[in-house]
Amino acid sequence: MSQEAPTPSARRTELLEAAYQYALAHGLADLSLRPLAEAIGSSPRVLLFLFKSKDGLLRALLARARADELALLDQAGPPNGPTGLAPAVEQIWTWLAAKEHRPLLRLWAEAYTRSLTQPDGAWAGFARATVEDWLGVLAGFQPPSERDSDDSATRRTLALAVLRGALLDLLATNDDKRLTEAVMYQFALLREGNERG
């Protein structure tokens, strides 16, 4: 018989949420337990007790950010079932470009980069997992005939590359107009490819 993971305590859940809000505002790069604990009404000792280590806290924050991102992407999904990859690019970009999502997306970009440059410890596997998450979201937009075609994985990969590249550029420049025009241009090419295929 397998054992279930213990249910997190209410205090751990409360402090994780407070720490997540702190990370959205301040990032994770120079996260230090003492200022974090002071800002969220706790102590380094309590955080270490509840999360076992600083890496444990970072892993919990990354999991929380991933869950938030997937929940919001799910809201951006098609309400009445799959609509196709081309409309997916437009819907997801609209969500990504919304100013209220910038703190979460900055946190994602920081964690993604850290996962590439520090592939061990708390960051291990984060970048790969988010690629798989996003490819899964894009596949969910595709009707079976499109999702099961020979080039479907290639098309999802291209859509993801365009979205991710435009997102990083947007976070760096805040140039919504230029990037939206570029993404919509790619969206039109995807739509044209679907109509030919």
Average pLDDT, the chain: 86
122 confidence band (pLDDT: 50, 70, 90)? confident
Alpha-carbon dihedral sign for residues 187, 125, 62, 139: positive
Instruction: Specify the pLDDT at position 147.
Output: 85
The verdict on residue 154 lying in a domain is yes
The verdict on residue 63 lying in a domain is yes
The verdict on residue 5 lying in a domain is no
- The b/e string for 34-59 (b: 16+ C-beta within 10 A; e otherwise) is eebbeebebeeebbeebbeebeebbb
The verdict on residue 112 lying in a domain is yes
The verdict on residue 23 lying in a domain is yes
Number of domains in the chain: 1
The verdict on residue 4 lying in a domain is no
The verdict on residue 141 lying in a domain is yes
Residue 144 in this model has a pLDDT that exceeds 60:
yes
Where is average pLDDT lowest: 7-16, 64-73, 76-85, 129-138? Answer: 76-85
Its domain, for residue 180, covers: 10-196
- The mean pLDDT value for 71-93 works out to 75
End-to-end alpha carbon distance in the chain:
50
Instruction: Specify the pLDDT at position 78.
Output: 59
Which residues make Cβ contacts (< 8 Å) with residue 123, sequence separation at least 6? 58, 62, 111, 114, 115
CATH number at residue 50: 1.10.357.10
The verdict on residue 183 lying in a domain is yes
Which residues make Cβ contacts (< 8 Å) with residue 95, sequence separation at least 6? 72, 73, 75, 76, 101
Instruction: Specify the pLDDT at position 142.
Output: 85
d(CA 191, CA 197): 10
Instruction: Report which of 63, 72, 62 is spatially closest to residue 28, judged by C-alpha positions.
Output: 62
